[in-house]
Structure 1
Amino acid sequence: MQLSFSHKKATQALNFFARAAGGKINKMKALKLIYFADRYHLRSYGRPITNDTYFAMKFGPVASQCLNLLNENEDYTAPEENTYRQAFLERENNEHYASKAAVNETVLSQTDLESLNYAWENYKDKDQFELAEETHRFPEWQQHKAALDSEQATRRFMSYLDFLENPEKGVERLPLLTEEVKEDLAEELHSLQAVESIWS
């Protein structure tokens, strides 16, 4: 299941974490925080924030188009995405990026901001490698572990539907989802995809 990437929300979410960290942040850490925010919003409200395409990689889930924005990889980003990113984010080096302007919260919903705050408050004290280890505990990444460990692939596509599966006891900081709630959230995802397919 793929959705239409929201480059404005993604840029502001990345900007949010840079500002929260004091103005700049490690790129890998920010991408893990994006994952936790998207995951929270998906499991709480039936949609992610960024609508990014996720891949399972050695160091956990990666929001691929957020990574392209941070790398300023203009071969994979549209001109309007580049222009918008340049107004808010600046690449410092291969490992860090900085905020250039205040977060434009009008781009984000209240539940988006709730999810970003959740990710920051719960995971801000971990570094990028600790966060990678944390992401390895969730079933949406674990199902790809064997293929990644055997080097059959360096990355594997992740479905948002798999984000609805509950991890083992003690891993999840949020209430576990009942089967009924999972079905309802899955239906919301399918409905969102159907609406987008009409307008795309």
Structure 2
Amino acid sequence: MPYNPVRAAHVIAFFALREGGSINVLKAIKLVYLADRESIRLRGHPILDEPRYSLPHGPVNSVTLDHLNGAYRENQETWQSILDARAGNNVGLSDCELSEATLDSLSEREISILDEVWQRLGHMDRFELAEWTHVPENVPEWQDPNGSRRPISLERMMAAVGLDQPIERAREHNSLKNAQSLLASL
């Protein structure tokens, strides 16, 4: 499936709801990455399908980070129907009626994964979470990019979470994604 900004905004909205309506961008993007990582571990595929990179402050989902930073004008209206424009280092909910029940682009299992990640790591602040992602025992696929960025492949994430045959699984996932994209364009 192609990148879905509504799903990404709903993932961030989930964490913002848990944080009280607004969340630090660095904390949000770490939790988004860690939720995808947990989804890969439990289901063999991420919640969001997008490129990921090792950055100096840890791993990130790059398209979602770009959306948080306002880089995608074509999806801005959709994005801002769920999340306010970034205010300094925070992003909040644009709709005060938003609740976990209205995050309908996410399945019950995905909400459960987000909840598991929040229960385990949501108590950390942005700096603690960034440091936590630098520990090889926690996130072995992150590699110091030396001030730049390094891609994190799906195969690398799959291997890091302990899935068997990560190369074959990643190829299978990409083949399915390509087929879904082709069918969506018809």
Tell me the distance in 2 between the aligned counterparts of 1:125 and 1:33: 11
- 1:173 is matched with none
- Choose which of 59, 72, 80 in structure 2 pairs with 1:86: 80
- 1:43 is matched with 41
- Choose which of 91, 98, 112 in structure 1 pairs with 2:92: 98
How many positions carry a matched residue from both structures? Answer: 177
- 2:64 is matched with 66
Is 1:198 aligned to residue 186 of structure 2? no
Shift of 1:96: 0.5
Tell me the distance in 1 between the aligned counterparts of 2:43 and 2:67: 25
Shift of 1:134: 1.5
- Structure 1's 28 and 191: CA in aligned 2 closer, same or farther, altered over 3 A? same
- Choose which of 14, 17, 20 in structure 1 pairs with 2:18: 20
- 2:116 is matched with 118
Tell me the distance in 1 between the aligned counterparts of 2:63 and 2:151: 13
Please list every run of 5 or more consecutive structure 1 residues that lacks an aligned counterpart in the other structure: 167-175
* Correspondence list, 1:150-161, <5 A: 151=147, 154-161=148-155
Tell me the distance in 2 between the aligned counterparts of 1:158 and 1:187: 15
1:179 alignment partner AA: D
Shift of 1:127: 1.0
Shift of 1:184: 7.0
Tell me the distance in 2 between the aligned counterparts of 1:70 and 1:8: 12
Give the conservation status (yes or no) of the 8 Å contact 2:55–2:150: yes
Q: CA RMSD in A?
A: 2.1
Tell me the distance in 1 between the aligned counterparts of 2:7 and 2:163: 29
Is 1:186 aligned to residue 170 of structure 2? yes
- 1:171 is matched with none
Q: 1:36-73, CA deviations, whole angstroms, 9 ceiling, x for partnerless residues?
A: 11111112112211112211100111111111221222
Please list every run of 5 or more consecutive structure 2 residues that lacks an aligned counterpart in the other structure: none
Tell me the distance in 2 between the aligned counterparts of 1:86 and 1:178: 36
- Structure 1's 44 and 109: CA in aligned 2 closer, same or farther, altered over 3 A? same
Tell me the distance in 2 between the aligned counterparts of 1:34 and 1:58: 17
Give me the TM-score of the superposition, normalised by structure 1.
0.79
Identity of aligned residues (%): 30
Give the conservation status (yes or no) of the 8 Å contact 1:32–1:132: yes
Tell me the distance in 1 between the aligned counterparts of 2:9 and 2:126: 19
- 2:141 is matched with 140
1:189 alignment partner AA: H
1:94 alignment partner AA: G
Shift of 1:4: 2.1
Tell me the distance in 1 between the aligned counterparts of 2:172 and 2:44: 6
2:140 alignment partner AA: P
- 2:2 is matched with 4
